[in-house]
A and B are shown apart, each in its own frame.
Chain A
Amino acid sequence: MKKALIFILLFFTVSFAKEVIVNPEIQKKMNIKTIPATYKDITLSKTYPAVVSEDPTLSFGVSSSVDGIVDTLYVKPGDYVKKGQVLLSVYSPKIADIQANIEMAKVKLNTAKQVFEREELLYKEDVIPYVRYYNAKIEYEKALGELNALKKMLNSYGEVKGNSIILRSKIDGFIADIKVIKGSPVNVGEQIMLIHSHERLWVIAQVPFEDVQNLKIGQTAFVLAPNGKKIQGKLTYINHEIDPKTRRNDVRIVVNNVGDILKPNLFVNVEIPISSSKGLVVPSSAVFVENGKEYCFVKNGNKFILREIKTSQKDEKEAVVISGLKEGEEVAYSGVIFLRSSVFGGGTND
């Protein structure tokens, strides 16, 4: 019995020796590395596949306000255009008609004006009665009103040059589509070309339903472009429906396409921070579980001391320690398996 007791005692001292002494040279050779535990903001984020698409609010369709024929095209598809840049001119018979009417009205006005001036003179001389003068005045004002009406009408069709109207871009952007060629007829209500601005894009991420709960509209998200760049964006919308094909929930992230990195239909990943807090952080590889308890090794000189700790959260890279560790303590995060098995045995069944 006594022997058994001693044996049990021995067993415990052997199995639970809580520190491991490793000389620096061996530490180096076995790649045992340490890092101080630090307080910092930690964000836990997850990554999802996504596709880039255009922001429909930043698209501009070009159409003619009048039926006509394309006179001149000044741009090609894919051209970058500035606001106010001339895109095309459309010859319209209607404009020509109006122009002709304006000429007519001008002549008419001129005649009416001369009549009016003579009659005014004659009236002042009391040659003619007031009625005659008054009639001439009305004629003149009518002709003036007609001309003005025609001019206004012409203006309502936009910028007119000769018998054509000039269409200009209203935004900075790319010519995405041109549906006409020189000489094509155009009708009112038909889109002639499409201009997109890629200054701002939408990134639609496919997020599994169970992860959506953690997301908030308005939160920050990052788009990981294939070239390795990380672009900040804003989560603006969570679709109310699950995509029947992918069984995932589409989430919209709006990004400013700085440097024109992203392009519509590009496959990207988005990294969405799920939670964020301040805490004592160590690399995840420093923490290990034995018998349901969490441990790490704290370095003190050549000694590595086993320390029981508790973590609140852990991802692939980092773990947040809530108890058992102080800021600045050196924690082993590489080669931990050797320290671990020298305390807990060679992966054996204890």
Chain B
Amino acid sequence: MIENILKFRIFVLFLLVLTVSFGYYSYKTLSIDTFPDPTPIQVNIYTDAPGLSAEEVESLITKKIETVMSGIKDVTTVRSVSLPGLSYISVFFKDGTDVYFARRLVMEKLSDAKAQIPSQYNPIMGPNSSGLGNVLIYALTSKSKSLVDLKTIEEWKIKPLIKAVDGVEEISQWGPDKAFLVKIHPDKLLSYGLTLEDISNAVEKNGGVAGGGFSKTNEGDLIVRATNYLTSIEDIKNIPIMSENGYFLRLSDVADVEVGEVPNRRGAFTLNGQEVQGNIVLKRVNTNTKDLVDRLYQQFEEIKKILPKDVELKILYDQSYLTKKAVSTVEKALMEGIILVAIAMVFYLGNLRSALLVVLSIPITLLMAFIFMKEVGLSGNLMSLSGLAIGIGLFADATVVVVENTFRNMFHNPQNLSKIQIIQIAVKEVFKPVVFAILIIIAVFLPIFSFESVEGKYYKPLALTIIFALVSSLVVAFVFMPVLSYYFLKTPKSEETKVMELINNLYHKILNKALKHGKIVLTGVVIVFVFSIWIFTKIGTEFAPTLNEGSVLVKSFLNPNVSLEEAKRVAFLVEETAKQFPEVENAFSNIGRAEKGEPEDVNYIETFIILKPYNQWKNFKRREDFENILREKLKDIPGVGFSFTQPIQMRIDELLSGVKSTVAIKVFGDDLDKVNQIGQKIEEIVRNTKGAVDVETEAQSGKLQLKITPKRDVLAKYGITAEDILLVFGKYFTGYEANYLKEGLITFPIVLRLPNDYINSLEKLASIPITTKNGYLLSLSDVANIEISEGFFKIRHENGIRYALVQSNLEGRDLGGFIKELKEKIDKQIKLPEGYFIQFSGQFENQERAMKKLSVIVPMVILLIFMLLYVNYNSFKDALIVILNVPFATIGGILSLYLSGYNLSVPAAIGFIAVFGIATLNGVVLISYIRQLIFEGKTVDEAINVATRLRLRPILITATASSLGLIPILLSGDIGSETQKPIAIVVIGGIFTSTMLTLLILPIVYRMFNKGA
């Protein structure tokens, strides 16, 4: 093989050029994303039920759809929220289900569900978007135009253009919709002896269009078109209501007709203390964010051309900045890593040429890895690129060994062999051990593929790219490097640098002393190991460090009875408070829900605070500090609860667990009141637990309701049906769209409604006239009881069971410990009635599942390493000695983790897995050589002496390369580095101790075990 490679070296060179070019092409065209989308496969179903209370929505709509949906194949969970006027159901599917297939299944079942709910309510599927779906937010502002006008421009001019952009699933639009309001005065109706129905009939029947086919006349073949569009407000005012003796009554005689907004708006969008028309562009699942945002920006240029002059389109937020930052962070780490490794190579090898070869191997390996990624369809994102940054030193390993061995063999050339022969020998010598070593590392990463859910989505790409790159590094080392060595390397003048010699001598002095006091040293190591295990129990746990998004999201929770106007004041106040900081670029909020949006009401506000780039921060250095300052300032606002998170983090938290906070405690049970009471108690417990911030029990009850119950006996007397009365509310309270008005191509609804003073005054409400069949006029209070009572505001279900929700964020404490304390406290203080249970949810769920998996994976990795070693050495004893590196690495990993203050998270665990593999390599390099020397007939002591002397350099080179490659990540404070830091810390610490201990302890142990031999 190697002979052929050297023989056809020109061909190999050509191949190299080809690989590099193709690799570069792949790198440039690789789709770039922020990070893997962790959102589970889900389909959302919205049902708008204007006017229905939460209880009615739950029983009439949610419960029925839910039951139908839970029967679908591969459905894991069905969650729902019932709010006044809205039912929102999320159907979660097993991982790996095709989302379009899932939507098909839901679509099929939706018709079943439709048949079971009242016919006027129409369930629709939500947009096919995900946690990373809110890609871009823009707002329309204008000095002269009203919000209603802006919304009309958005709806009819901008939306069609944006939806035409490939990858846009939906646009969530805030702001009032234009409508023509007909406010009927019941008093006037009473006087004319008219009923509300007379009015709605009149409006329905006056205005419309009919097509009459064709007419063949002398003028030609004509299309017959009968139109009676209502085209102006005058048209509406003049709609005839009643005629008598040639006189007729117009609509304007009994009602006020005015231009306004569609009633019952439950949301608003505010920017820097002012209401604007805001929109969120939702990305279709599996669309590349950066590409989409680029396309959107192009489209915005087009849109700006058609906008009226005084309307300004402001882009407030786009997610691609995060991608750019995260990717540039990784790219920077890669570049710096390569440079650092290069310096180390020169230092160790003392030879610029060989160092150059090693350094060259890294980009070639990366480019090859990009080819793999591109072909497999793996996008370049924070996680997959992290794999490359983390493994940068590892990828040089194979080349280091090959080049170093070639280099050494060139120096020791007693037979004066030709360059080709030397290279052949050198490559052959190391082929087996190098392949074996790389295989071990690949092997340790394999169990990561058994991760599920979020951790799977996050860390599988990382493991995959590392494996791609490791395989590539083998190809580079054994195909390209021999050829390149042939051209590049020259016979060196000296084998080792002066510095290396110094180190080697120093090392042997220490080693000899250690060998003498073997037992003491060993006991010391054991003590240190035990100590580190003890420290390990002190380390907190979490799922993963939070990714810094460069923006803050403040959630405000208000009393459920708050009005939109009052909510706006709070939003303005939060925005203004944030804007006091020069670091804040923009602050904008969305209140409640857009027309197609979240299951929220006006008592919930999300305020986005977009921060300027990191280097412009003056008043604070970390995002958390800013949050704390802001939290302190907002404390002065009475009656509002605040919670802090980040835009993407919140969406992901929400889509994973249906909750927008880190920790969620769900209290399940039948009785909503009881469930909420328990929730209250738990809230107090959480509040009094260290580390809890932004504690909030979701307001599920306490929504004041105006209850109208028809008096049945009275109804019977007058021959009125209950429906006649309910109709008054269903139609004229909520607003009834009786017809439409046409302005050019745009149609606006004509909404019939009672005047505001009727809707907002109990006394007036009681006097609403009701007509009986025999023409009697009654007032509402005659036929119905009217009372104010407290009702439910938000009813949540998970798999059909009701639950209350306590949410909390964490500050300065690890998640695992927090939950543990909380669980103990709740167990002690709260006695749950039968049929009630508590579940912890949120990020904690991920952590628990991942840690459970890791507790299997880590031992499996160790076992796997051991098996590989055993197969390789065919000696239980030697395999055992080499595997000692695992505890060696553990010591460093734990200590560095503890000292750095990081928690044990999934990335830290992956760091441990990686460092186990890398550390084992050190052992393999040393022990294999000792075994070889003994096989050649040397005594144990001689073998140890020679092996340690000759193998010091490769061990140090690989260890240094692996650690140095990680230093840039460790030092970086940029966006995206948070998630990689734990890996880097553990690997560096682990490599450090394992290298030191390999060099010192392994010889001692080996000698002890083989004393008899």
B187 touching A49, Cβ below 8 Å: yes
A264 and B688 CA atoms in complex are apart in Å by 72
Residue-wise interface mask of A (314-350) relative to B, using a CB-CB cutoff of 8 A (1 in contact, 0 not): 0110000000000000000001011111100011111
A346 CB → nearest B CB, Å: 5
The residues of A that contact B570 with a CB separation of less than 8 Å are 30, 338
> A32's closest neighbor in chain B, by CB?
B638
Contact check, B637 vs A269: say whether CB atoms are below 8 A apart: no
Chain B 760-780, CB-CB to A under 8 Å as 1, else 0, gives 011100010000000111110
Partner of B702, one of A29, A48, A347: A347
Interface core residue of A14, A206, A337 (most chain B CB under 10 Å): A337
Q: Which of A37-83 contact B (CB under 8 A)?
A: 46-49, 51
A347-B777 contact in complex given A22-B636, A49-B187, C-beta closer than 8 Å: no
Does B703 reach chain A (CB closer than 8 Å)? Answer: yes
Q: Which residues of A contact B777 (CB under 8 A)?
A: 245-248
Q: Does B558 belong to the interface (CB within 8 Å)?
A: yes
Given contacts A7-B829, A316-B763, contact A342 B638 (CB under 8 A): yes
Interchain CB contact (< 8 A) of B688 among A7, A22, A23, A244: A7
Known: A245-B775, A337-B639. A346 touches B190 (CB 8 A): no
Given A337-B559, A337-B562, the answer on whether A316 and B761 have CB atoms closer than 8 Å is yes
- With an 8 Å Cβ cutoff, the count of chain A residues facing the other chain is 43
Bound CA–CA A139/B103 (angstroms)? 126
B455 CB-CB contact with A under 8 Å: no
Q: Is A157 an interface residue (CB 8 A)?
A: no
Interface membership of B938, Cβ < 8 A: no
> What residues of B have a CB within 8 angstroms of the CB of A31 in the complex?
566, 569
Q: How far is the CB of A28 from chain B (nearest CB, A)?
A: 10
Q: Mark A253-275, 1 if CB is under 8 A from B, else 0.
A: 00000000000000101000000
Task: Identify which of A30, A247, A347 contacts B559 (C-beta below 8 A).
Answer: A347
Cβ of A208 under 8 Å from chain B: yes
For the complex, count residues of B whose C-beta is within 8 A of A: 54
> A247 and B703: CB pair below 8 A?
no
B788's nearest neighbour on chain A, judged by CB, is A289
Which parts of B804-828 form the interface with A (CB within 8 Å)? Answer: 828
Contact with A along B563-601 (1 / 0, CB 8 A): 000100110110010000000000000000000000000
CB of B908, distance to nearest CB on chain A (Å): 34
Cα of A206 to Cα of B779 in the assembled complex, Å? 11
The yes or no answer to A131 lying at the interface (CB within 8 A) is no
Q: B566, B673, B687, B762: which contacts A335 (Cβ < 8 A)?
A: B566
Report the minimum CB–CB distance from B843 to chain A (whole Å): 23
Smallest CB separation, B184 vs chain A (Å):
14
Q: Which residues of A contact B673 (CB under 8 A)?
A: 349
CB contact under 8 A between A26 and B637, given known A246-B777, A349-B680: yes
Which residues from chain A contact B636 at a C-beta distance below 8 Å? 21-23, 26
A267 to B566, CA, bound (A): 37
A341 touches B558 (CB 8 A): yes
Alpha-carbon gap, A246 to B186, bound state (A): 13
Per a CB cutoff under 8 Å, which of A4, A14, A46, A338 touches B637? A338
CA–CA, A206 and B560, complex, Å: 39
The residues of B that contact A206 with a CB separation of less than 8 Å are 190
Besides A245-B193, A346-B560, 15 more A-B contacts (Cβ < 8 Å) are A29-B573, A30-B638, A31-B569, A206-B190, A246-B776, A337-B566, A341-B639, A346-B641, A346-B696, A347-B561, A347-B699, A348-B680, A348-B699, A349-B679, A349-B700
Q: 4 closest Cβ contacts across the A-B interface?
A: A338-B639, A342-B639, A341-B639, A347-B702
Which residue numbers of A lie inside 8 Å of B, CB to CB?
Answer: 3-4, 7, 10-11, 14, 20-23, 26, 29-31, 46-49, 51, 206, 208, 244-248, 267, 269, 304, 315-316, 335, 337-342, 346-350
Binding site for A on B (CB under 8 A): 187-188, 190-191, 193, 557-562, 566, 569-570, 572-573, 576, 603, 636-641, 673, 676-677, 679-680, 684-685, 687-688, 696-697, 699-703, 761-763, 767, 775-779, 781-782, 793, 828-829
> Can you give 24 contacting A-B residue pairs, CB < 8 Å?
A3-B828, A11-B684, A22-B636, A26-B637, A29-B576, A30-B569, A30-B637, A47-B763, A51-B191, A208-B782, A245-B775, A246-B190, A247-B778, A337-B561, A338-B559, A338-B639, A339-B638, A341-B558, A341-B559, A341-B639, A341-B640, A347-B699, A348-B697, A349-B680
